[in-house]
């Protein structure tokens, strides 16, 4: 393997099945993920986790905290920052759906990394969230015994939507059995908080500079899905977390969706529009090249 691109061996057969009509695409689930940043002496680092190799989807791959939308993420919730209407325009969604995506981003970051983008007022953020009572609430969120709206209300907190910047949107290819329509956000690690591996889906976490992570991917040392390495490369020009967040409002959120076509000789050409480095040429009955 020349690099660390995640490439399931069953993809060629599934692509051919999609082409001949014997495979029906599943509807992608709404999801959100957050590229959590902190400044260091050598530039911003991003928080990443490695998915357990036993995971059915992208096992062993490095990713960011995130996950699917909980239907209760549309509940009335304590909210600060840009309005739901503003987020609806930014994400190109109805207000309830936009709130759910933003809520999922904040909730999943807390569930998987222990970092909470919320505060008692519209211009404050909670500090250390590692106490036993916090952990009890976090576990209840993970188990879905508690909705995020209930969690915030219980603690007198408001979701700080202004601490997030919408960065990009990727949709899992149509030939994948598990599909997600995922919005990627950027956020800075709040002062006084620290990350930890709170996810049952990850076996390790790391703070790493995007340039170093990309270099390790290029060497085949770190396994990643196309959206992960693509976003890492997009983070490299910025000298601070604040600079990255400032750039977010101008980012294009047109979804990236892989396209596969069959050549006359039966070769499959798999491409992600705007991301030529991921193009795969799969010969008849063969694997990618």
What's the chain's average pLDDT?
90
Mean pLDDT, residues 275-288 taken together: 76
The C-alpha torsion from 39 through 247 and 65 to 120, rounded to 10°, is 80
Cα–Cα distance, 212 to 151 (Å, whole number) = 37
Cα–Cα distance, 3 to 79 (Å, whole number) = 42
Q: Is the pLDDT at 131 greater than 80, yes or no?
A: yes
Mean pLDDT, residues 18-37 taken together: 93
| Between 69 and 201, residue with greater pLDDT | 69
State which of 35-49, 56-70, 189-203, 250-264 shows the largest mean pLDDT.
35-49
pLDDT in tens, 223-274: 998 999 999 999 999 999 999 999 999 999 999 998 888 877 778 888 898 9
pLDDT confidence of residue 2: 59
Query: What pTM was computed for the model?
Result: 0.92
pLDDT confidence of residue 269: 87
Q: List, in order, residues 6 or more apart from 30 with CB less than 8 Å away.
A: 68, 69, 97, 100, 101, 104, 180, 181
Mean pLDDT, residues 11-40 taken together: 92
pLDDT confidence of residue 60: 82
Cα–Cα distance, 241 to 186 (Å, whole number) = 9
Q: Is the pLDDT at 89 greater than 60, yes or no?
A: yes
pLDDT in tens, 60-85: 889 999 999 999 999 999 999 999 99
- CA angle at 213 for the pair 207 and 216, rounded to the nearest 5°: 130
Q: Is the pLDDT at 3 greater than 80, yes or no?
A: no
pLDDT confidence of residue 69: 96
| Between 197 and 277, residue with greater pLDDT | 277
């Amino acid at each position: 393997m020349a690099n660390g691109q995640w490439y399931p061996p069953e993809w060629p057969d599934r692509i051919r099945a999609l082409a001949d009509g014997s495979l029906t695409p599943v509807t992608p689930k709404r999801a959100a993920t957050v590229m959590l940043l902190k400044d260091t002496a050598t530039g911003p680092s991003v928080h990443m986790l490695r998915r357990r190799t036993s995971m059915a989807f992208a096992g062993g791959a490095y990713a960011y905290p995130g996950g699917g939308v909980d239907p209760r993420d549309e509940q009335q919730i304590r909210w600060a920052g840009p309005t739901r209407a503003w987020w609806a325009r930014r994400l190109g969604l109805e207000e309830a759906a936009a709130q759910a995506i933003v809520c999922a981003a904040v909730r999943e970051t807390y569930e998987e990394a222990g970092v909470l983008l919320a505060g008692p007022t519209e211009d404050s953020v909670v500090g250390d969230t590692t106490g036993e009572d916090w952990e009890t609430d976090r576990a209840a969120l993970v188990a879905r015994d508690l909705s995020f709206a209930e969690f915030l209300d219980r603690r007198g907190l408001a979701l700080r939507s202004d601490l997030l910047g919408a960065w990009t949107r990727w949709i899992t290819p149509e030939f994948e059995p598990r599909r997600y329509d995922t919005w990627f956000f950027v956020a800075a690690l709040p002062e006084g908080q620290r990350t930890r591996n709170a996810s049952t889906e990850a076996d390790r976490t790391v703070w790493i500079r995007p340039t170093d992570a990309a270099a390790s991917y290029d060497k085949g040392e770190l396994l990643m899905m196309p959206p992960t390495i693509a976003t890492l490369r997009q983070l490299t020009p910025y000298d601070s977390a604040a600079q990255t967040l400032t750039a977010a409002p101008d980012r294009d959120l047109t979804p990236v969706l892989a396209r596969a076509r069959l050549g006359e000789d039966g070769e499959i050409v798999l491409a992600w529009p705007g991301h030529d480095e991921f193009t795969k040429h799969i010969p008849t009955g063969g694997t990618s090249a």
